[in-house]
Structures are given as structure tokens and as C-alpha cells.
Amino acid sequence: MSIPTAPSPPRYWRGIPQHYRLEAAKAASGEVMFPPRAVATDGSRSSEPYALPHEGKLIAFTVLHEAIPGFAVDPPFAVGIVELRDGTRLSAQITGVNLDQITVGMPLRYAFRKMQEDGVAGTIIYGYKFVPDTESAED
Amino acid sequence: MREVAIIGIGQTKFGELWERSLRDLWAEATLLALDEAHAPRIDAIYVANAASALLGGQQHLGSLLAGHIGLAEVPATHIEAADASGGAALRQAYIAVAGGMADYVLVGGVEKMTDLESEYQGYIQTTFGDQDFEGFNGITSAALYAMIAQAYMAEYGATREQMAMVAVQAHAHARRNPYAQFTNQLKLETVTRAPALAAPLRMFDGAPNSDGAAAIVLGPAEEARKRGLPLVTIAASAQSGDLLALHSRQTLTSFPAAVRAAQSAYKQAGVNCSDISVVELHDAYTIAALLALEDCDFFARGQAGAAVEQGLTAIEGRVPMNPSGGLKAQGAPLGAIGIAQAVEITRQLRGSAANQVPNARLGLTHNIGGAGGTAVVHILKGEQQ
């Protein structure tokens, strides 16, 4: 038995603001939510779209040695939790760097990348990954 | 709220049981529990299962599985909370009996994992996290626990060997458990030199894919006492939740939902952690056992690794942990985990466990969904008649 592991075209399309542009939701209290939530921690139900900064640093990471069906990259590949400049955290693949040179605390920036090659109905799935921020590192 | 007793237990062997189906496993465990319970009737059934829709293309488990054991007309409902489905279902069954809506309730957990090709098992794991914001990026449960392990080692100076000792001890405990998937001795070097899974975790840091089922029948304690049998009651049933995506939480080195559930359970039972004789904790990965020992307050933050290394969590230690072998060695059939934990603690409190902790009076179960989105803690109490 095989099961569909890629998002359907409409599900993928709905996620474009987040996956293409790093769009979070900002509540009246100032809380930034990524993924966006319907209700903020203070109970507020209203929020505005909020463009996350594209630069941050690596909080934690691992190198995965197990393949996930349908993914555009073969193992081993790196994933991590990135803390952006405004303090918001997200999960992402870390790429554009040798796996043995990834370190906690390294500066990273957003990159637009292919995630899956052959999704439902043959779609190519794009999203965000993070790459070393060499400009920041040279500061 | 009335007092609730565990009046019947049952369990299958856990493992790669190629010849057994989902319904076979369910029937074996639940019929054992029903035969022991001698309940005058069953008023409700809860089925704990984490991923049958994906693993076997089967939903509507309440109807299917109640009918398979001759109880087609009994209200039967499927409860899902990833690999905390068992604990969550036990809690629903407890609520039904404690609140008086039902007198006798059957709660069973079952998972049939080996019918799906192994390449999809990693995908199944991603469904326990936030699929759009973690799984979409290739983040599996193994990845989440690996990052937790990395953060824990950096924050507290815990060693790779200390984590490995959790797996070594699990295999040692499972050796005498007739239901266990792995009864082989595991050497420390085997764990630390195993093929990489998700650094710093290696293959033997993770629980296996398992087929298996476990079941419990609950009833009013007052009725059960009349029978004069050794009685086990539920002294506390607590659950808490958290934001699903790990990156959304403040800490990587604790599951706040587990801390809340444990504190709530101690308060309900009117006990503290030093009163607990034996524990079954959710060791989906070795690092998870260290978090569990600290989240339930058995050791101070950062001390659990050293405690395991010093033997404090062995059968004769101060906090006997996972006498069954836990998820790592008894096996980890997702939906059955939380029920199997309570089955083992019941045996311990009856004095009939294969790996018996002497004079066990109070036992605790700790069941986690995914990487901490759901936490369920139960405290069971043994009563000598």
C-alpha cells in the first residue's frame, strides 16, 4: 500500500503566503504567531498579516538519515529550529552548507527552494529553507 | 465522582507479528481483559489507535472492533492523540465510570504497524507533528527528539553514554517480560555505535515499530471490593496539552504539558513523587525518558542522565522505571502504549509482574503524544484485601 505524502494542490496553494513569503500573524498584543493561529495567547481573535524577517540564527539542528517518501532531497539532510531576528522561531531544512560545518548559533537567512518534486497531480512543491548568512557572519 | 477500579487486564505479545491482523490483536487483548473482569455487562467501549487510517486503510474502528468481539451494539468510540491515544482513551473511560454515565467500560489500544512499507513509517511520524510547518520541511519525530537531545546535552552536560544507558536498561528489564518485542541483551557500545538516525540519536535510541494490543476493563471500586480480590484503583487521571509545533514552545528541554499533567495527578491523588513505587514512562527515544523523569519531578533538571547511569532507575533503584522494558524494548504499538503502561502497573500493584518491584503500592504512567503536544499521566493504587 502507498499513501499520498505530498499536499494536494489546494492545500499547497493555501500555504503559499507562509511557505513563499514567511507570512506570520501578529496579534494586537504584539504576539507573533508562526504558524498563524485563530486565537492568540491573550485570547485576542484579531491579527494582521506580518512579514517575518529573513535573517536569524540556528537554535538546534539534526542531520536526518532516513528518507521521507516524495522529498526532493535524499538523506542525509539537515533540519533545524531557526530563531529569526525578531525572536520568532520556525522549523526548516538547513542547506547550502556542508553537513559537518553546521553549528548551533550560526547566522542563517531565508532561501526559496524546491521541497518536493512530484506531488499530487504532478505538482512541484516549493517552500523555504535556510542557508548560511555569510554577510552577517562577516559583520 | 466515584472511585474507579481496574477489574480486568489483557495484552498481546508486542512485535513484528506478520500473521496477526488488527482485529486479531484487539480480540486477544480485550477477551483476556473481559474474561478476567467478569463484568455483568459492558456499557461503553473506547478504542485507542493512532494511525490505522494510514497504516491499514481502516477507520470506524469502534464499530469494527466492538462487533468483532460480540459487542456490536455497545457504544464504541475511537480516541486519537498520536502515541498518547492509549492514555487519552483510558482517561475517557475513567471519566465515564467516575462520572456515573457508565458502570463497566472496556478500553483497548491496538496498532498494526507492519502492514505498511517501512519507508512510510517516517512519514507516519510526521503526522504526529504539525504537518504543514514541521512535516512539510522534512521534520520527523526522530528529528524533533534529536534536537531536544542536542539542546539537553548542551544545557546540562549530559553524555551520549547516559542516554544510551536508558536503552541498555530497557532491554535488561524486558528480558523477563513474556510480552516483550526485544529480550536480547543490549550493550552500551551497540547503542553508541549503531547506524545514525538523527544526530545525536542512533538506531537503538528509538523505539521499534510494533504490532500489538492491550486492554483494560474499568468498573466502580465499590462493586469490585465486594469480590475480595486484590484491587487496583485509579487514584489520578490527568492530561494537558501544548502547541503542536515544537518550535512554538519556550523550551526544548522539557515538555510543559507533561509537567502540568504530573502536577495535576499528584494533587488529585494527594501524593508526591517520593510516594510512587514504580513508573512506566514514555521512552519513544532515550532522551524522552530523561525528560520524563524530570517532568514528573523524580529528579532535578539535568540530573536524570546521571541517575540512570547510577542505576537509580533499575528495578532495585529509587525510581524503578519501565519494568516492562518500556517502548524501547517491550515495543511501541502506538495506540496501545498508554494502555499497556497501565496494564504493567496493574500487574506490579497486584504483585504479579514478571519483573516485580517489591511491595509496589503506587504506580505512575506517563504517555506522550508526538513531541509533547499531548501528555497523559495516571496514578494507580494497589489495595491489599
Three-class HEC string of chain A: CCCCCCCCHHHHHHCHHHHHHCEEEEECCCCEECCCCCCCCCCCCCEEEEECCCEEEEEEEEEECCCCCCECCCCCEEEEEEEECCCCEEEEEECCCCHHHCCCCCEEEEEEEEEECCCHHHCCEEEEEEEECHHHHHC
**Is the Cβ pair A79, B119 closer than 8 Å?**
no
Query: What local confidence, expressed as pLDDT, does residue B92 receive?
Result: 98
Residue B134 has its nearest CB partner, among A33, A67, A91, at: A91
Strand partners, A78: A63, A94
- A vs B: CB pairs below 8 A: 108
**Is the Cβ pair B147, A3 closer than 8 Å?**
no
Residues 6+ apart with CB under 8 A from B253: B148, B151, B152, B155, B156, B291, B301
Band of the pLDDT at A139, cuts 50, 70, 90?
very low
Query: What local confidence, expressed as pLDDT, does residue A2 receive?
Result: 66
**Is the Cβ pair A79, B136 closer than 8 Å?**
no
Residue A69 has its nearest CB partner, among B119, B195, B198, at: B119
Higher pLDDT, A71 or B199: B199
In the predicted model, what is the mean pLDDT of residues A8-17? 87
Find cell 465510570 and name the residue. Answer: B97
Query: What local confidence, expressed as pLDDT, does residue B118 receive?
Result: 81
Cα–Cα distance measured from residue B192 to residue B248, given in angstroms and rounded to the nearest whole number: 31
In the predicted model, what is the mean pLDDT of residues A66-80? 86
Q: What is the pLDDT along chain B (385 residues), one digit of tens a residue?
A: 999 999 999 999 999 999 999 999 999 999 999 999 999 999 999 999 999 999 999 999 999 999 999 999 999 999 999 999 999 999 999 999 999 999 999 999 999 999 998 888 888 988 999 999 999 999 999 999 999 999 999 999 999 999 999 999 999 999 999 999 999 999 999 999 999 999 999 999 999 999 999 999 999 999 999 987 779 999 999 999 999 999 999 999 999 999 999 999 999 999 999 999 999 999 999 999 999 999 999 999 999 999 999 999 999 999 999 999 999 999 999 999 999 999 999 999 999 999 999 999 999 999 999 999 999 999 999 987 5
Confirm if B97 and B220 have CB atoms less than 8 A apart: yes
Query: Residue B145 burial by CB count (10 A; 0-12/13-18/19+): exposed, middle or buried?
Result: buried
In percent, how much of chain A has pLDDT > 90? 68
Q: Report ipTM (2 d.p.).
A: 0.94
- In the predicted structure, residue A138 carries a pLDDT above the cut 60: no
Cα maximum dimension of chain B:
57
Query: What local confidence, expressed as pLDDT, does residue A74 receive?
Result: 86
- Which residues from A are below 8 Å from B when comparing CB atoms? 1-3, 5, 7, 11, 15, 18-19, 33-35, 59-69, 71, 73, 76-77, 79-81, 89-93, 104, 115, 127, 129
**Is the Cβ pair B247, A90 closer than 8 Å?**
yes
DSSP state of B211: B
How many other C-beta atoms lie within 10 A of the C-beta of residue B189? 11
**Is the Cβ pair A62, B143 closer than 8 Å?**
yes
DSSP code string of B285-334 = BHHHHHHHHHHTTSS-TT-HHHHHHTTTTSTTSSS-B-TT-HHHHT---G
Query: What local confidence, expressed as pLDDT, does residue A7 receive?
Result: 84
- In the predicted structure, residue A136 carries a pLDDT above the cut 70: no
Interface test with B, best of A52, A63, A64, A106 (most B CBs within 10 A): A64
Find cell 555505535 and name the residue. Answer: B193
Residues 126-165 of B with CB under 8 A from A: 126, 130, 132-134, 136-140, 142-143, 146-148, 150-151, 154
- Chain B positions in Cβ-Cβ contact with residue A3 (cut-off 8 Å): 54, 116, 120, 123
Query: Residue A55 burial by CB count (10 A; 0-12/13-18/19+): exposed, middle or buried?
Result: middle
Confirm if B364 and B377 have CB atoms less than 8 A apart: yes
- Cα separation of the two ends of chain A: 52
Nearest-10 crossing angle of helices B160-174, B286-295: 90
Residue type, B339: I
Q: Is B252 on the interface with A (CB under 8 A)?
A: yes
Residues 6+ apart with CB under 8 A from A67: A74, A75, B119, B122
Backbone angles phi, psi at B233, to 5 degrees: -115, 160
Query: What local confidence, expressed as pLDDT, does residue B122 receive?
Result: 83
Nearest to B113 by CA among B370, B335, B368: B335
Shortest CA gap B286–chain A (Å) = 16
Residue type, B93: A
How many other C-beta atoms lie within 10 A of the C-beta of residue B190? 17
Please give the residue of chain A at the shortest CA–CA distance from B132: A15
Query: What local confidence, expressed as pLDDT, does residue A116 receive?
Result: 83
Residue A64 has its nearest CB partner, among B136, B140, B200, at: B140
**Is the Cβ pair A93, B137 closer than 8 Å?**
yes
Residue B123 has its nearest CB partner, among A5, A59, A93, at: A5
Query: What local confidence, expressed as pLDDT, does residue A137 receive?
Result: 54
Measure the CA angle with vertex B132, ends A21 and A8; round to 5°. Answer: 95
DSSP state of B21: -
**CB neighbour burial string for B47-78, b if at least 16 within 10 angstroms, e if fewer:** bbbbbbbbbbebeebbebbbebbebeebebeb
Residue type, B193: R
Q: Is B194 on the interface with A (CB under 8 A)?
A: no
**Is the Cβ pair A79, B132 closer than 8 Å?**
no
Backbone angles phi, psi at A106, to 5 degrees: -65, 140
Grid coordinates of B203: 538506531
